[in-house]
Amino acid sequence: MRIALFVTCLADTMFPAAAKATVTLLERLGHEVVFPPGQTCCGQMHINTGYQKDAFPLVRRHVRTFAPYDVIVAPSGSCVGSVRHQHAMVARNAGDLSLAARAEDVAGRTYELSELLVDVLGVEDVGASYPHRVTYHPTCHSLRMIRVGDKPLRLLRHVRGLELVELPAAEQCCGFGGTFALKNADTSAAMLGDKMRHVLETGAQMCTAGDASCLMHIGGGLSRLGSDVRTVHLAEILAASEAS
């Protein structure tokens, strides 16, 4: 299958390992990955901070960039959530009904990584090997906005050597929330404190999730604590094999 990678601006700029792993994984499963070059950012930060007018050209750019592709994947539940639940709204609010229709069309072909693997490609065992003790944080947008359910866990359970430990209060937000972490930094830090406590309680070596943004938040907190627990994107675990 020919799959267009929507890399997301954060993975592209700060966490390319997650994006490279997505490519490695899909190619190992026998698919062709293409990278539409005009892509930048989906505009979620602008939309969620109250700048829909500024987000409009980004939505238009995203829709134009990805319109030619049948299957689009992103290593992020949050960015897929924005594409699926916000892009058409931004276009409608700007009075561009034609863009809204095209945005809905693109959204219908856009998948978060675990959705693509389980729902579209029909695979749960991706042939990965990752001999570590890992806990999984279900990010809010993957859980409640696009409803990936237990797909990431089903994928993780098939990874050779991986010991999956359950995260207490897993479904509580880590406190990131985009610009929330800046505008309400103290509340965000209090939420992060509880999330880190739960991660550390598991005794896991790694905390994984389907969003680089939440991992940047949890990882930044753990690093400040001086903890040696690391954060790793779900794609990186699924791309790891005995050969690698």
Partner 1 sequence: MSTFLGMPTTAPRGVGHLRGDESFPDAARKALGNEQLRRNLAHATTTIRGKSGAVIAELPDWQELRSAGSALKAATMARLPELLERLEENVTAAGGVVHWAADATEANRIVTGLVEATGHRRVIKVKSMATQEIGLNEALEAAGIAPVETDLAELIVQLGHDKPSHILVPAIHRNRTEIRDIFLREMPGVDPALTDDPATLAAAARRYLRETFLSTKVAVSGANFAVAETGTLAVLESEGNGRMCLTLPDTLITVMGIEKVVPTWRDLEVFLQLLPRASTGERMNPYTSMWTGVTPGDGPQEFHLVLLDNGRTAVLADEVGRQALHCIRCSACLNVCPVYERTGGHAYGSVYPGPIGAVLSPQLTGVADNASLPYASSLCGACFDACPVKIDIPSILVHLRNEAPHPRTERIAMAAAAYTMDHPALYARAQHAAKLSRHARRLPRPLNGWTASRDLPQPPPETFRDWWAGR
Q: What is the binding site for partner 1 (CB under 8 A)?
A: 7, 9, 11-17, 19-20, 23, 35, 37-41, 43, 45-52, 54-55, 57-58, 61, 85-86, 93, 140-141, 143-145, 171-173, 175-193, 216-217, 219-221, 223-224
**Minimal distance, residue 135 CB to partner 1, in Å:** 18
Which lies closer to partner 1 via its Cβ, residue 159 or residue 199? 199
User: In angstroms, what is the minimal distance from the CB of 125 to partner 1?
Assistant: 26
Distance of closest approach, residue 24 Cβ to partner 1, in angstroms: 11
The dihedral over CA atoms of 212, 114, 142, 137, expressed in degrees to the nearest 10, equals: -60
Instruction: Report how far residue 209's alpha carbon sits from residue 219's, in angstroms, rounded to the nearest whole number.
Output: 11
Is 55 or 116 the residue whose CB approaches partner 1 more closely? 55
Nearer to partner 1, 159 or 211 (CB): 211
Q: Which is nearer to partner 1, 142 or 162 (CB)?
A: 142
Name the one residue in this structure whose structure tokens are 């892509």.
Answer: 39
Nearest Cα neighbor of 71 from 19, 123, 34 is 34
Q: Are 58 and 41 in contact (CB under 8 A)?
A: yes
Residue from 111, 203, 109, 204 nearest 156 by CA: 204
Residue 238 CB, nearest distance to partner 1 (Å)?
Answer: 17
Shortest distance, CB of residue 164 to partner 1, whole angstroms? 23
Distance, in Å, from the CA atom of 231 to the CA atom of 24, rounded to the nearest integer, reads: 19
Query: Nearer to partner 1 by C-beta: 162 or 213?
Result: 213
